[in-house]
Amino acid sequence: MQKIRFYRNKPILIIFLLLIGLCAWYFLFSGKSDNQKVSYSEFYESVNQNEVIKAELAENKIIYELKDGTKLETQNPSSPSLKEFLLLHDVEIHQQADSSQIISTIFDVIFYLFFFGIIIIAFRKFISPNTFKVVHKTGVKFENIVGMENIKKDMVQIVKMMQNPSEYAKKGMRLPKGILLEGAPGNGKTLFAKALAGEAKINFIPAKATDFESMFMAIGPMKVKLLFRKARKKAPCIVFIDEFDGIGTVRNYSGSAIETENTRIVTALLNELDGFEKTDGVLVIAATNSIKALDPALIRPGRFDAKLTVPYPDFEARKELIQLYTKGKNPAPECTQEKLAKMFENFSCAKIETVLNRASLIANQQERTEFTLSDVTKAMQEA
């Protein structure tokens, strides 16, 4: 890990060392000279006699060349009339940058390298091509989902359409551009999306609302474009956006920075959804707790053609879930599936699992091998 980090930072380290070396060279060697030193009056007289053909003006010295090729050095009085005096005697002038200018330039270079380096690092972090991972095998099938048979039937049809798009196109039917899953948290919306990708044996790209949030303006819309660009390259695939109401809310033109960014993200989503062709093989699935919170333009037919409600598990589904979640646990004989299923009415799948796990922990804390109905009741109160 340390080697990888070193190689990534190697260019920056080399530039930094070069700048330090440049500074050291300037201060150690730039002041040294092998030229013979003479007085300023001697230099002045040589110029008056038109013997000087070239002069190099440094911060504290003047290096000049005579007609016979001799190079001499004298002090620079920094007189404002010196240049005019030399030009009137046809002396070729070269001006050296002083140390303050060189130091200022070096610090300017360091500042710009640091500034643009920070920007590049920030952009690589926030809009890196690896922001959205492609899952090739979700490992979930419809058989892993308990109950909800009506939604499964709709999903099975969509799987068939994704596997045989040309066959359905002959019948005048097209694959929905988007599916909107609405339901309370913990009822399996994400599981449904994974199961659909698993059944269709296609790529799956998960995302959530927080993936599009950033401290920098315009990063959110860029991430939307990055997500759908990757989806097109990995087609056929499913793009799953969780917590959709976190970025797809009704647009507000109040002028605040937050609302402006949200409006841009929604607009980017609209453009990407409208940009898909029938043959793109990309299906967007969005999960939300409330359709009413979403922008009407975003969820109109033609963008999200199918709207499915993921309900709380019914009585029979709750019995199956209880059987699944009590594996490896020791419920008391009084904890029958029927009794527990009645107790768990209007419970989400996740809450049922949490309550049964907590009831088992309560019994274990009291050094009992089986959990009872009273343990379940206590766990329900804590959940």
pLDDT in tens, 321-372: 999 899 989 899 999 999 999 999 989 888 999 999 999 999 999 989 899 9
Q: Render pLDDT for 194-221 as a digit per residue (tens, 0 to 9).
A: 988 888 888 999 988 888 776 667 778 8
- Cα distance between residue 379 and residue 373, in whole Å: 10
CA atoms within 13 A on the CB side of 366: 11
Q: What percent of the chain has pLDDT over 90?
A: 24
Give the pLDDT of residue 100.
62
Mean pLDDT, range 69-73, rounded to an integer: 90
Strands 71-75 vs 61-66: parallel, antiparallel or unpaired: antiparallel
Q: Which one, of 189, 200, 156, 151, lies nearest residue 285 by Cα?
A: 189
**Beta-strand (E) ranges in 21-109?**
36-37, 52-57, 61-66, 71-75, 92-95
Of 18-32, 68-82, 277-291, 340-354, the range with the lowest mean pLDDT is 18-32
Mean pLDDT, range 19-24, rounded to an integer: 66
- Cα distance between residue 91 and residue 73, in whole Å: 15
Lookup: tokens for 372: 């009872």
Virtual torsion, Cα 201, 229, 293, 318, nearest 10 deg: 20
Lookup: tokens for 135: 């899952």
Does position 112 have pLDDT exceeding 70, yes or no?
Answer: yes
Asked whether the beta carbons of 140 and 198 are under 8 A apart, the reply is yes
- Cα distance between residue 79 and residue 45, in whole Å: 16
